[in-house]
Structure 1
Amino acid sequence: MIAKDFQPFAIVEDKGFKDYSHALNPSYVLPSRKTLSQKIIPKLVDRERENLQDKVCQASAVCITTDCWSSRATTNFMSVTCHYIEDFKMVTSLLSCFEFSDRHTAENLADELLRVAKDWKIENKVVCCVTDNASNIVKAIKLLKWTHFPCLAHTLNLIVRDALKVIKPTVDKVKGMVEFFHKSSTATQKLKCTQRQMGMPELRPIQDCITRWNSTFHMLKRVLESREAIISTIAIMNAPVDIPNQNEWDIIKEACTVLEPFQQVTVEISAESYVTASKIIILCRGLQTVTNHHQTSELITTGKVAELVTTLSSSMERRFHRMEYNAVLSDTSILDPRFKKLAFNESTAVDDAVQRLTTAAARCNPRSEPASPPSGQDLRVNPEPHTSTVWSFFDERASGDNERRNPSTDAVLEVRSYLEEPIIQRAADPLSWWKSKALVYPRLAKVMARKLCIVATSVPSERIFPKRGRL
């Protein structure tokens, strides 16, 4: 309960909890708060850390995400998470979350990242580091000579935030209404009463956060859902709040329609338990297609939203230009059996990716970590082959065949054969597919473990901070 449910150490001193524990087991003696905090929890932490370090050390490659955060008490923290493939499943581990009081220079950030990596013995296993677009952290990763990939969620935030400036006066009016209800408990209760009378769900207005564009989307959508109740409540209370006119309500409705796909993509790429980086090229192209369609759609009737759409389209065109030629994105896309070459529009980008994967596969030793056959299956039909002269002609032929083969040839054959495999369903798990094919493509399977562990966003490291705040 302490670790998983964020209960305080003092829970063992609460009378209700003592009575509950006694009812479950009268003979059990609860530990004191001091014993819990100074002995039991530290031992638990040490044991879990050892177990986690064993797992992380066994990973062939890891992707790191990191972020910095300042608490309300102006205390700075830094978090570092790592992501790797274990038994053909995506695994996320928090490596560290610590107070970071030094200046956030590139050199200091690089020192802290390297310290954490060395502490977990993964400094030579980092294949990519995903962060926001801040210049100091980008430079820090460059100093470490790690591959950097900018967080797609942050990129989308920049794109949408810049476009929302077009409808800023309307958004400001909505903010004013939301702030009115959040600052007045009387207004909030009156709104709930009005919603009940109108047969509407009791939905409290949502405030937006300047660092997350989708909070603005949720704010607009919530106000739109409770529009009539909000207008009635403000009118009844004769509140000094500027209410949007009909044209502005149309802007809010159409803006939500335009921004809905961006919200869907943000949610999909922010996951940790399944492969995400391989989707980026397809999802970004999908956003461009949907947004460009809105430029000629009859659903967009207001000039401001039309301008919003144009701004979104031009910004994506600039930021997503030649995305297929990004080595991180193209390699992960082509190694995903759901997409392969379908993720690309340009054959040159496909050729470049295939060449990189072939070269990487040729460097792999498929015998260094032999894959286990499926459970209950023994691939050795005859564990002790005969050594009589009857078999000598075959042994000579097999020996000659092995001499003619080389890593480059094997790699070319594996890549070619893999690309000829049929595409699997989009809802299927690509890692499960690779598990079933690990013996067929032993070299590519090793390359895959170094590529598909890369995540699309730095959200995993950001999720640590709300938990830190609760602690």
Structure 2
Amino acid sequence: MDAAMKPPGLLQGKFIFKKLPNGNLDKTKVVCTLCNAELVYCRSSSSLKYHLNAKHPLANAEDAGPSTDVAQGKSRRQTTMFECNRGKPVSTALSAKLTNLLAQWIATSCRPISVVEDDGLELVLQAATGDPSYKLPARRTIMRRIHDQHAAEKAAKNEKMVEARCVALTGDHWTSVNNDNYLGVTVHLIDASWELHSFALGVMKTEERHFAEACARQFLDVANQWGIADKISTIGTDSAPNMVAAGRILPFEHLPCAAHVRRTYTTLSQQKHNLALPTNAEYEKLAKLEKLLEPCRSQMMILPILCDSKLPSPRTSTSGGEKINLEWLKVATALDPRFKDLKCLPRAEREPVWAKLSELVKREEPALQPLGEKNPEPPKKKTALLLMGSDSESDEETPEDNTVERYKVEPSASLDQCPLKWWSDHTAVYGKMAHIARKYLGTPATTVPCERLFSLAGHIVQKRRSSLSPENVNKLVCLSDWWKKEK
């Protein structure tokens, strides 16, 4: 081969022999021309190739390839991502991102904090990043990130409640595996764009006995911590005697959980009693009826149906006579445009619901009038009445006076239509009634959201993690609930 065609020595000039002070070359040491690293040379290029693969994979792939594969007539293969990143140290930005993702994964999936000490997880991340020197963050680092993430998410949730005019709470107590008592509270609201939000406010550890006064005070503490005590419309609990008594103490409307009350009748079939149960033929008819009533599975609709039946249990709770808040649920059903005809109620019970709704609209007028606004001019008589020559002042009415009547004659929405979307389209027409609808339709009829919180808490507070502080339990449960609902 011609001398001009010979490639430069030491891997195509990427290494040169070290030059001594006297000008001679030291054949036992070489210097990398890419990073000026000094290496020992023992007449073998293996260590030099290893240095290129570890520190300069791109330069090695571009220049070393043609001298081998191309020279031998082989097609040049594209370098894989793993080969490009192999040996490349993880940047500071990527390391911080991995730490945040680890903290989010631990909180969302209810993983133990000790998972960051798992050697297997570290090996997986080292292989994924291509950096064999990557080390998992310490426990304290992860906990600091969880605290920071909780503060950021809490601020975002607080903004939603600041904008809301009214909210509803549901709460219940839970006992962990190490016999610690916690109060779980969730909030429910409909924002200005008619989107329903339901998320956890916290899981607070309680030390005192669950007397009614203590339960009421605990709910108020949570409300004051979030600054929503003056916005709460209802508070939903189970029908335990202490919760029912606490509902009487609190200055909010109490809404006993419909699911707990209905469960009483369900268990009657498993007990010794003298009640007549349905026959097999009647069960078959009920199965067909259930299929027909599938669109009516809404919580706000099914409860009045049950309460209007002759069953003994749904009218009273398990605590000895505490009735369900039927008045609230009936108004909520009337404000649902799909069921506003109130066919679930006897005819004699429908008119009092509309009278109640009219009263609520009248009460809402002062609250919606801007501060400092002068009283409007006396309403004018209808044009039709003036043409007829009527001079009776009793015929005078404002647009607000007939709001409920106009809503009653409005065509009912289809069963598959979202009631919140309907109210969003009709807010300008029924302004004051729309605010009432936002309050009533945003109130759940059950305390199921709290039960979900306790399921999350049960995954977090386990036998191997029973020493978690109440503060960490609260933040982990809240983050898991918030992030899962955002998905």
TM above 0.5, yes or no, is: yes
- The structure-2 alpha-carbon separation of the partners of 1:282 and 1:402, relative to structure 1 and needing over 3 Å to count, comes to farther
1:153 Cα offset (Å): 0.7
Structure 2 residue aligned with 1:276 = 299
**2:91 is the counterpart of 1:68:** no
Q: How does 1:92-131 map to 2 (within 5 A)?
A: 92-131=198-237
Deviations 1:169-192 (A, max 9, x none): xxxxxxxxxxxxxxxxxxxxxxxx
- The structure-2 alpha-carbon separation of the partners of 1:24 and 1:263, relative to structure 1 and needing over 3 Å to count, comes to farther
Which structure's residues are more often helix, by fraction? 1
Could you state the TM-score of these two structures normalised by the residue count of structure 1? Answer: 0.61
Report the secondary structure of 1:415's partner residue: helix
Deviations 1:340-379 (A, max 9, x none): 1334433443222222222222343599599xxxxxxxxx
CA distance in structure 2 between the partners assigned to 1:268 and 1:99 by the alignment? 40
Q: Letter of the aligned partner of 2:451 in structure 1? A: E
- The structure-2 alpha-carbon separation of the partners of 1:25 and 1:350, relative to structure 1 and needing over 3 Å to count, comes to same
- The structure-2 alpha-carbon separation of the partners of 1:460 and 1:256, relative to structure 1 and needing over 3 Å to count, comes to farther
User: Is this contact kept in 1: 2:299–2:445, CA < 8 A?
Assistant: yes
- The structure-2 alpha-carbon separation of the partners of 1:454 and 1:317, relative to structure 1 and needing over 3 Å to count, comes to closer
User: Is this contact kept in 1: 2:306–2:314, CA < 8 A?
Assistant: no
**2:267 is the counterpart of 1:161:** yes
CA distance in structure 1 between the partners assigned to 2:269 and 2:288 by the alignment? 15
Q: Letter of the aligned partner of 1:413 in structure 2? A: N
Structure 2 residue aligned with 1:431 = 420
Could you state the TM-score of these two structures normalised by the residue count of structure 2? Answer: 0.59
Structure 2 residue aligned with 1:349 = 349
User: Is this contact kept in 2: 1:366–1:443, CA < 8 A?
Assistant: no
CA distance in structure 1 between the partners assigned to 2:260 and 2:295 by the alignment? 14
Q: Which moved more, 1:72-81 or 1:275-284?
A: 275-284
Which ranges in structure 2 are unaligned for 5 or more consecutive residues?
A: 1-104, 371-375, 382-395, 461-487
**From 405, 409, 420, the counterpart of 1:416:** 405
- The structure-2 alpha-carbon separation of the partners of 1:15 and 1:325, relative to structure 1 and needing over 3 Å to count, comes to closer
Which ranges in structure 1 are unaligned for 5 or more consecutive residues?
A: 169-250, 293-312, 371-400
Structure 2 residue aligned with 1:181 = none
1:278 Cα offset (Å): 4.6
CA distance in structure 2 between the partners assigned to 1:156 and 1:261 by the alignment? 21
CA distance in structure 1 between the partners assigned to 2:288 and 2:146 by the alignment? 44
Q: Letter of the aligned partner of 1:102 in structure 2? A: E
Report the secondary structure of 2:235's partner residue: strand
1:268 Cα offset (Å): 10
Report the secondary structure of 1:404's partner residue: coil
1:408 Cα offset (Å): 7.5
Structure 1 residue aligned with 2:155 = 50
**From 422, 429, 443, the counterpart of 2:432:** 443
**From 425, 441, 454, the counterpart of 1:465:** 454
1:51 Cα offset (Å): 0.9
In the alignment of these two chains, the number of paired residues is: 329
Report the secondary structure of 1:339's partner residue: coil
Structure 2 residue aligned with 1:338 = 338
CA distance in structure 2 between the partners assigned to 1:262 and 1:284 by the alignment? 17
**From 106, 117, 120, the counterpart of 1:13:** 117
**2:314 is the counterpart of 1:329:** no
CA distance in structure 2 between the partners assigned to 1:3 and 1:325 by the alignment? 37
Deviations 1:112-139 (A, max 9, x none): 0000011111111111111111111111
1:85 Cα offset (Å): 0.8
Q: Letter of the aligned partner of 1:450 in structure 2? A: K
- The structure-2 alpha-carbon separation of the partners of 1:257 and 1:12, relative to structure 1 and needing over 3 Å to count, comes to farther
Structure 1 residue aligned with 2:379 = 404
- The structure-2 alpha-carbon separation of the partners of 1:349 and 1:253, relative to structure 1 and needing over 3 Å to count, comes to closer
Structure 2 residue aligned with 1:296 = none
User: Is this contact kept in 2: 1:333–1:339, CA < 8 A?
Assistant: yes
Deviations 1:398-424 (A, max 9, x none): xxx964269973333221111111111
Deviations 1:265-294 (A, max 9, x none): xx999x9xxx73354213555xx4xxx8xx
- Structure number with greater Rg is 2
- The structure-2 alpha-carbon separation of the partners of 1:464 and 1:470, relative to structure 1 and needing over 3 Å to count, comes to same
**2:125 is the counterpart of 1:24:** no
Q: Letter of the aligned partner of 2:352 in structure 1? A: D
- The structure-2 alpha-carbon separation of the partners of 1:77 and 1:58, relative to structure 1 and needing over 3 Å to count, comes to same
CA distance in structure 1 between the partners assigned to 2:175 and 2:213 by the alignment? 19
- The structure-2 alpha-carbon separation of the partners of 1:318 and 1:258, relative to structure 1 and needing over 3 Å to count, comes to farther
Report the secondary structure of 1:115's partner residue: helix
1:467 Cα offset (Å): 1.1
1:70 Cα offset (Å): 1.9
1:255 Cα offset (Å): 11
- The structure-2 alpha-carbon separation of the partners of 1:346 and 1:72, relative to structure 1 and needing over 3 Å to count, comes to same
* Higher RCO (Cα < 8 Å, 6 or more apart): 1
